Amino acid sequence: MEHTFSARIQAHPSREHLWPDLIRALAPMPVAVSIHESSPPSPWDGYKQALRSLLDDPAQPTHGLILQEDTKVCRNFPLAVERVVTRYPDIPILLYLSWLPRRAAMLANKCAPTTRYLELHLHSNEFMPVVAVLWPMTKAEEFLMWAENNPRRLGHPQPRSDDGVAGRWCGYTKQRVVATLPSLVQHEDLIPSIWGRRESWGRDKGRVALRFVGDGDPLELDWS
């Protein structure tokens, strides 16, 4: 089966200066900027908007990529995504994994250097990092429907954490989710979050990749 892709940049209007470089780095993958603003800030509402935009895409891609606007993708990123999805075409793939959640990071650190994927078995009280996730569109639709039909399981009457809601979906429904090792996306943490949290310039391990491919070429790794 041929896999087709479309990307959405989860964006806030105050960060418009970040978008051009990321759009260029994603080429030739089709990409749109999904802009969301609210007070107080709600990443979850912004994430829902990006998911719905992918589901409504007239091109009907098989997979949708959602990534935060303050991320950096690796060299040859679109080609690397094509290789990764061939291994796991039917489940969400995390292209970024940080030092949190702690249990996932501990498992990743125990993996052999040649390990390319870590399957996460998230509990409902753990979060799923959504900095950069490749979604099969069937799973994206399933996730949205679950969230709409299970408001009491989202953790708060008005949840605002996108990774928190995603983690609850994984835990309650026993979803299979994998993360790439190394990460194909980095979150450098060079600007304040929309929550108002100050940047840490890489000093906060919970906000940067556990293991980023860096300047290396992901196409030199075996993703099969």
* pLDDT tens-digit readout, 5-38: 999 999 999 999 999 999 999 999 999 999 999 9
Distance CA 175, CA 173 (A): 6
Which residue from 79, 69, 84, 76 is spatially nearest to 12, judged by alpha carbons? 69
Average pLDDT, the chain: 95
Q: Which residue has the tokens 């949708």?
A: 64
Q: Can you give the residue range of the structural domain that contains 12?
A: 5-220
CATH no. for residue 177? 3.90.550
Confidence of residue 201 (pLDDT cuts 50, 70, 90): low
Q: What is the pLDDT of residue 191?
A: 80
Give tens-digit pLDDT for 92-123.
999 999 999 999 999 999 999 999 999 999 99
Q: What is the pLDDT of residue 155?
A: 84
Average pLDDT over residues 73-96: 98
Q: What is the pLDDT of residue 94?
A: 98
Give the global pTM: 0.95
